[in-house]
């Protein structure tokens, strides 16, 4: 996430719904006006607490949905195990770049995939990342302490060989100790790598990151210019129609999609459970918005202009689980948020219009198996 107002909103909403959980089916609200056409298996809505780790909650939720497709009943993976591993990767990058790099709470979906591939995964029951008596994560103090430590280390030459051990000790202090080297799960003992491989059946190559911008050639694989892209992750560039189409196709095939978007811009009325991109003279009713209100006609040029002007930026990552339509047939994505179940009238889910998606999407991560053969060929992924 990038804007302070977004981070503050995430914290406030997460505090309101810290430990509540959400059933797989979305609770209907009076006057919602959207019919659910397809809603795929997803785990319970969680709260990211007082952290900027939506990138981990959204992508972990994607992986959990993949587990459910494979027959695993209600998996519950540890977000905080992955978060601390990503913080280690951020620190290594920060040290090697001598402090001339982003080091904050933000991240991207590919950070989760990379960390899971390198360090494995573990269930929430094995590692919650919470201190005794703590009901939700709170990383404000931890991030400051970690950055201060790294900046202190960078003043020394040579950099101490054991800096990672002391760095991990700071995380232990804020996260209730170190994660276990192995743990029991369903009567067997696993290391995180074994659990990821044997139980979750995780393979980083099974996921593809897509985006759509005109300042790079279509069908190229390029490093997207985002402050939180500390890993220099690459994204496949497709047309806007293909980006929307690939997302719809994935959902209609029974898959789910990780969604990185801007939620600070006009039209994200989360308290009503909707996100629109209204025309400039239209203001959505924040209490009972009309799903069929007039929205902008989105073109690739319009979208690119907002990105170039730093209007559309990397704000918040969520999880697309389904598709619905309004009374007049307007399509909506059904989106699982990590702000807790009371953050919207739909138990923490948000109905996102297609124009809002078209304007505000930074990137999506889709299971590779969901992509059509024609697009796979264009991206040379066959």
**CATH number assigned to the domain comprising residue 311:** 3.90.70.10
What pLDDT is attached to residue 32?
58
3-state SS, residue 149: helix
Nearest CA to 125 among 177, 49, 184?
184
b/e sequence 261-286, b meaning 16+ C-beta within 10 Å = bbbbbebbbbebbbbbbbeeeeebee
Q: How far is CA 110 from CA 10, 141, 167, 169, in A?
A: 21, 25, 23, 25
- pTM of the predicted model, to two decimals? 0.92
> Phi-psi bin for 321: left (phi > 0), alpha (psi -120 to 50), beta?
alpha
Query: Which sign, positive or negative, has the C-alpha torsion 133, 138, 140, 142?
Result: positive
What pLDDT is attached to residue 311?
95
Q: How far is CA 252 from CA 51, 257, 271, in A?
A: 32, 11, 27
Structural domain total, the chain: 1
Q: Can you point out the beta strands (E) in 262-378?
A: 268-269, 274-275, 316-326, 331-336, 349-353, 361-367
Instruction: Please tell me the distance from the alpha carbon of residue 155 to that of residue 153, in angstroms, as a whole number.
Output: 5
State which residues form the domain around 319.
4-378
What pLDDT is attached to residue 36?
95
Instruction: Please tell me the distance from the alpha carbon of residue 344 to that of residue 317, in angstroms, as a whole number.
Output: 16
Nearest CA to 335 among 325, 347, 321?
321
User: 56 is written with which tokens?
Assistant: 């981990």
User: 250 is written with which tokens?
Assistant: 């994935």
- 86: which residues sit within 8 A by CB, 6+ positions away? 56, 107, 111, 112, 115
What pLDDT is attached to residue 10?
47
Could you count the other beta carbons within 10 Å of the beta carbon of residue 235? 26
What pLDDT is attached to residue 382?
79
Burial of 105 from C-beta contacts in 10 A (0-12 / 13-18 / 19+): buried
- Print the SS3 string covering 52-94: CCHHHHHHHHHHHHHHHHCCCCCCCECHHHHHHHHHHHHHHHH
Average pLDDT, 10 consecutive residues per value, the chain (382 residues): 46 40 42 85 96 98 97 94 98 97 96 98 98 92 97 97 98 98 97 98 98 98 96 97 98 98 90 91 78 95 97 96 96 97 94 97 98 98 87
Question: CA dihedral defined by 61, 291, 283, 363, rounded to 10 degrees?
Answer: 30
């Amino acid at each position: 996430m990038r804007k302070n107002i977004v981070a503050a909103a995430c914290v406030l909403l997460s505090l309101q719904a810290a430990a509540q959980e959400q059933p797989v089916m979305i609770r209907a609200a009076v006057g919602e006006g959207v019919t659910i056409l397809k809603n795929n298996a997803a785990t319970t809505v969680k709260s990211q607490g007082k952290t900027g780790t939506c990138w981990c909650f959204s992508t972990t939720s994607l992986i959990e949905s993949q587990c459910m497709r494979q027959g695993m009943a209600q998996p519950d993976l540890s977000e905080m195990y992955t978060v601390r591993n990503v913080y280690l990767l951020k620190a290594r990058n920060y040290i090697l770049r001598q402090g001339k790099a982003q080091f904050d709470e933000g991240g991207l979906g590919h950070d989760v995939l990379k960390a899971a591939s390198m360090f494995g995964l573990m269930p929430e029951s094995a590692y919650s990342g919470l201190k005794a008596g703590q009901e939700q994560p709170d990383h404000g103090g931890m991030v400051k302490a970690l950055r201060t430590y790294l900046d202190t280390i960078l003043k020394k030459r040579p950099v101490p060989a054991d800096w990672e051990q002391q760095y991990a000790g700071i995380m232990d202090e804020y996260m209730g100790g170190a994660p276990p080297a192995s743990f029991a799960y369903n009567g067997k003992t696993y290391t995180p790598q074994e659990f990821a491989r044997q139980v979750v059946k995780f393979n980083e190559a099974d996921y593809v990151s897509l985006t759509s911008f005109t300042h790079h050639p279509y069908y190229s694989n390029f490093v997207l210019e985002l402050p939180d892209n500390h890993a220099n992750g690459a994204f496949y560039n497709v047309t806007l129609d293909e980006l929307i189409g690939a997302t719809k196709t994935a959902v209609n095939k029974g898959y789910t999609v990780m969604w990185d978007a801007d939620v600070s811009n006009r039209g994200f009325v989360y308290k009503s459970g909707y996100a629109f991109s209204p025309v400039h003279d239209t203001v959505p009713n924040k209490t009972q918005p009309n799903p069929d209100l007039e929205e902008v006609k989105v073109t690739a040029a319009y979208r690119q202009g907002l990105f170039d002007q730093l209007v559309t930026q990397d704000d918040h990552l969520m999880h697309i689980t389904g598709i619905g339509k309004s009374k007049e047939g307007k399509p909506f994505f059904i989106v699982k948020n990590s702000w807790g179940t009371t953050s919207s009238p739909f138990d923490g889910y948000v109905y996102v219009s297609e124009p809002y998606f078209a304007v505000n999407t930074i990137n999506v991560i889709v299971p590779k198996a969901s992509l059509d053969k024609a697009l796979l060929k264009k991206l040379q992924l066959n």
